[in-house]
Amino acid sequence: MACLVDYSSSAGEEDEDKTADVTKRTSLEAAAAAPPASLPPLPRSFHDIYAANVRTSTADCPSLHQGRTRAIPHVAGQWPSHIYVEWFPTSPEHASLEALLTAVIDVLPQTGNPPGRPAVHSLLTSDLGVPLPLHISLSRPFVLRTAQKPTFLDSLIASVSSSRVVPSYVGFNGLDWYRSPDSARAFLVLRVAVTDKAAVADVSKSRGRGHNHPLVSLLARCNSQVASVGQPTLYGQSTASESDEDDTVAFAFHVSVAWTLADDIHAWVKLTEQAYGTWQQNQRKESKEPLHFNVDSVKIKIGNIVSDIPLAASERRAKRARTNTGPNHGPRKKLSGLY
């Protein structure tokens, strides 16, 4: 009687195992050699979800915050608020900022007994080592009552959206220490100058004040809204000075990168300028692009909720990019220098 089933021999099993091993090894080698898949960028609203810090105490406790105290004490029914332009440095930009901060700290005079470097706290990285967003303030810290929140937000959105401010690039043209009028802290700040992308390198080499008209215009609108709820304005600018190019106000815009509670920051000015100059030379030697970023929206944080308000021009272009697609148009190209 013939066999109904023809079982493979052990030799055949060994051949199949070898073939499977070769196939698996080839697949692994191909996967290792392949370039990593590029991930799509996170939506701009993603970071707003995690903008609030985790609370570690139910009461204000300076010892938990390097000696800092609240500029605005917590009161039930009142919401600390802030209007600003946000900047998320890229990884290379973050590394350059870290190098700048290290260069400044290294030249500061040692004090105390035993002598040591003054305590300078970075605003670039969280306690967990995560890079943090930076910002240009368009308001002082202020408070809104619960009933004021919806109306204030709607008015601010209408004011910013109706402005004629177009997206623009900002570069940096100086590094200084600035004593905050709202607290005991002094901040290490990069001075801001509005420019276009082609002129970023020229801005970084200059020590001029820069016109900063787009920021002055946005500040006037934000100050007008803040003053309408009885809160103090930023830089003492009058709400009617949107078209008046105030040189002092224009020079005041900055991005803070560190802070300290030390008193004698005046003795650090020359040392800080020297460290900044050396850092700039190193940046140019290494052919690194000057630090800059695109201003295309204004943000407001009310309590722990962040709202993003696109500038009118960038919003219109985004709408055109969405609508001008199809068989007769094709995808619309982004406009150079505006994105």
Residues designated catalytic: 135, 254
Q: How far apart are CA 291 and CA 90, in angstroms?
A: 10
Residues near 303 by Cβ (< 8 Å), separated by ≥ 6?
52, 79, 80, 81
Amino acid letter, residue 279: W
- Contact of 96 with 288, CB cutoff 8 Å: yes
- Tokens representing residue 109 in the block: 């005079």
Q: Tell me which H or E stretch contains 186.
A: strand 186-195
Q: Tell me which H or E stretch contains 258.
A: strand 254-260
Long-range contacts of 143-146 (CB under 8 A, 24+ apart): 143/72, 143/75, 143/78, 143/79, 143/80, 143/81, 143/231, 144/78, 144/79, 144/81, 144/229, 144/302, 145/77, 145/78, 145/79, 146/77, 146/78, 146/79
